[in-house]
Amino acid sequence: MRAALTDLDVIAMAARLPATDETAQVSAGSPGRRLDLPAFGTDPRLDPDLPPHLRHRIDRFSALAYLAVSAALAAVPEPARPAPDRIGLFIANTKAGWSYGEPELGLLVREGLPAMHAYQATAWFPAAAQGEVTIALGLHGCAKTTTGRESGFAEALWLARDALERDAIDLAVVGAAESLVNGFVLRDWPADGPLPSSGPAEGAVMFALRRSTGTGSSRLRNLCHAGRDLAGPALPDPCWVPTLSIASRLFTALRHTAHVAVPLGGGYQVDVDRSHPEGEPMSTVRSEITTVGDLANVARHELVIPGPVAEVFEMTRDVGRWADYMPAVTSAEFVEQTPDGDLVQITAEANNQRHTWRSRRSIDRTAWTIDFSRVGPVAPLVRMSGRWEFSARGGTTRAVLTHRYATTTTDALCFFDDATRSNATRDLQGLAEYFSRTEDPR
């Protein structure tokens, strides 16, 4: 039974975009002309998260689509994840796969048919990504690819809403996946004119959407076409791939803005409506210390981080980056690393004193948890352990940091109460500020 929808809950999102200063060099047009594109320096087909059997048979844009879709789906809480035949996929791709197709065309022209590879038929066309991703992830719902050069991402959203309205699916993964990292596609701009100056030249941004339940914290509302001249400019500067830059803009709006209308190109727009049911400001850490024994307490700190759970988890797992955004941390490094855990050494200030300690950590990428336990605690500390827990809240993440500790004296217990309250608060706020600062998800 069909039913009209005005609201869609955003229950997860993920972006695979090059870093701000990252470039990929391509040969373009005239012999010897080389360009540095804002793209991945390392071919995304080599990413360890990509199934190895796909590497040699897909284009860069399909690899990026796979990485972003799988990250978005991984961040969907289990209760919200429907059966595979109820999950749809809607991808904007406007430039096809010339990083695969251009060399194959070269082989055909120079060496003939026998030199060409069989995967040209399945790697080049815009719908390649939806096929490879639905196959690799076992998705059976309606999947479509849109190609409007400016409005392709809005068109993908439109078709996703159509599929949800006609009850064909319960969850739609929607986004843009593009790659311009080849010389041939650069001929799409006049040789004597300026090239685009903003946005990434490849990447993928994906959103997991469902019919609104009325309880979600992030919603897209009133997807509409406001008129090709009425919706305002979708992008301020000429950008490499409008679909990708527009999807990135929506990604940023969902992280940072409570209520805003986002132009999606070609006259389309959607309203972002982000609320926090408990009403807490994003930067306020909830702090609670509970006594659990004579000289043992549990400190619990909680904050909503304006970033997708997969990225927040990864930032926290990588202690090598802690000193960049956790104010209390002076230095942190891995001492040992295994797939399931590590030994880390941390130097941090606590109550105006510098302390160094080692913790053994256990990593669970499925449950988004990191358990830690201090190695060889020195009296008056008897033990210090705890857990980082992350869960998706729309496009944001609820982070809970729990410390369990015991001491030999009351004074020492007070010392650790103050230290954990101060440092956990500052560190969580630092994590939140890191994601807030990232205006462009690149």
Give least dist CB 52 to other proteins, A.
17
The dihedral formed by the CA atoms of 318, 366, 65 and 160, expressed in degrees to the nearest 10: -130
CB nearer to other proteins: pick between 159 and 346? 159
437 has which bridge partners?
Answer: none
**Largest pairwise CA distance in the chain:** 82
Question: Is there binding between residue 141 and other proteins (CB under 8 A)?
Answer: yes
DSSP character string of 293-327: ETTEEEEEEEEEESS-HHHHHHHHH-GGGHHHH-T
Interface residue with other proteins, options 38, 175, 200, 266 (CB under 8 A) = 266
Using the rule CB under 8 A, give the single segment among 149-157, 273-281, 319-327, 420-428 that binds other proteins. Answer: 149-157
Give least dist CB 147 to other proteins, A.
4
Q: Are 163 and 108 in contact (CB under 8 A)?
A: no
CB nearer to other proteins: pick between 119 and 415? 119
Using the rule CB under 8 A, give the single segment among 36-44, 223-231, 315-323, 416-424 that binds other proteins. Answer: 223-231
Using the rule CB under 8 A, give the single segment among 64-72, 118-126, 336-344, 373-381 that binds other proteins. Answer: 118-126
Angstrom distances, CA of residue 195 to CA of 264, 282, 440: 22, 39, 20
CB nearer to other proteins: pick between 113 and 378? 113
Could you tell me which of 370, 374, 375, 362 has the C-alpha nearest to residue 387? 370
Assign 85 to helix, strand or coil.
helix
Site of tokens 């590590």: 342
Provide the 8-state DSSP code for 125: S
Interface residue with other proteins, options 66, 100, 153, 158 (CB under 8 A) = 158
Q: Are 98 and 184 in contact (CB under 8 A)?
A: yes
Residues 94-113 close enough to bind other proteins by CB under 8 A = 94-96, 101-102, 104-106, 108-109, 112-113
Question: Is there binding between residue 179 and other proteins (CB under 8 A)?
Answer: no
Give least dist CB 250 to other proteins, A.
17
Distance separating alpha carbons of residues 38 and 35, to the nearest angstrom: 10
Question: Is there binding between residue 70 and other proteins (CB under 8 A)?
Answer: no
Question: Is there binding between residue 235 and other proteins (CB under 8 A)?
Answer: no
Distance separating alpha carbons of residues 423 and 313, to the nearest angstrom: 18
**Nearest-5° Cα angle at 307, 23 to 366:** 100
Distance separating alpha carbons of residues 425 and 430, to the nearest angstrom: 8
Q: Which two tokens stand for residue 323?
A: 């000193």
At 60, give phi and psi (nearest 5°). Answer: -60, -40
Question: Is there binding between residue 261 and other proteins (CB under 8 A)?
Answer: no
Interface residue with other proteins, options 116, 261, 289, 412 (CB under 8 A) = 116
Q: Which two tokens stand for residue 417?
A: 């109460």
Size of the site for other proteins (CB under 8 A): 70
Using the rule CB under 8 A, give the single segment among 138-146, 253-261, 284-292, 366-374 that binds other proteins. Answer: 138-146
Using the rule CB under 8 A, give the single segment among 19-27, 160-168, 301-309, 374-382 that binds other proteins. Answer: 160-168
Interface residue with other proteins, options 70, 130, 218, 425 (CB under 8 A) = 130
Note the residues at the interface with other proteins (CB under 8 A). Answer: 2, 4, 84-85, 89, 93-96, 101-102, 104-106, 108-109, 112-113, 116-118, 120-122, 124-128, 130-132, 134-135, 137-149, 151-152, 155, 158-159, 162, 165-166, 168, 184-185, 187-191, 225, 227-229, 266-268
